[in-house]
Amino acid sequence: MAEGYAALFVSAFLAATILPFSSEALLLAMATSAKFDALSLLLWASVGNILGSVVNWTLGRFCLKWRDRRWFPAKPAQLEAASGWFNRYGVWVLLLAWVPIIGDPLTVVAGLLRVRFWLFLMLVAVGKVARYAVLLQILEAV
């Protein structure tokens, strides 16, 4: 059972970083199984996804010189779009870090714009935990 939680953690971590990966399918599959506790699933998925975003923030903060590399988590057009969101809505846009396509670049841009780490962590955590909690609640209601 511990291997399942570890797999969910890795899946959620990768989904927030350099790979086009999704953790929701694994989370929902595990939640439908009687083997896993919903609160533990929420915890492991959230922590993995948040830590993946911390990697993105670090890349934006310290590794922007590699932004043209294929493995960098955000393409130039995505960085430009995310910068526009930041200029328009401020740091509150980090509550949307869970949104596919725009979320990862937002976290990279937060590092690039030197958003204070603890503020970044708080806003990203709220959005990501809420997303997984809503998914689990929807599944429970069905």
Rounded to the nearest 10 degrees, how much is the dihedral formed by the CA atoms of 77, 73, 69, 116? 90
Contacts of 51 (CB under 8 A, 6+ apart): 13, 16
pLDDT in tens, 50-76: 999 999 999 889 887 887 888 777 778
Task: Report whether pLDDT(105) > 90.
Answer: no
Task: Report whether pLDDT(20) > 80.
Answer: no
pTM, two decimal places = 0.88
pLDDT at 18: 63
| Phi, psi for 101 (deg, rounded to 5) | 75, -50
pLDDT at 138: 92
Q: Give whichever of 3-17, 75-89, 101-115 has the largest mean pLDDT.
A: 3-17
Q: Span 107-130, mean pLDDT?
A: 95
Q: Tell me if 108 sits within 8 A of 73, measured CB to CB.
A: yes
Structural domain for 54, as ranges: 2-141
Q: Span 112-117, mean pLDDT?
A: 93
pLDDT at 135: 94
Structural domain tally of the chain? 1
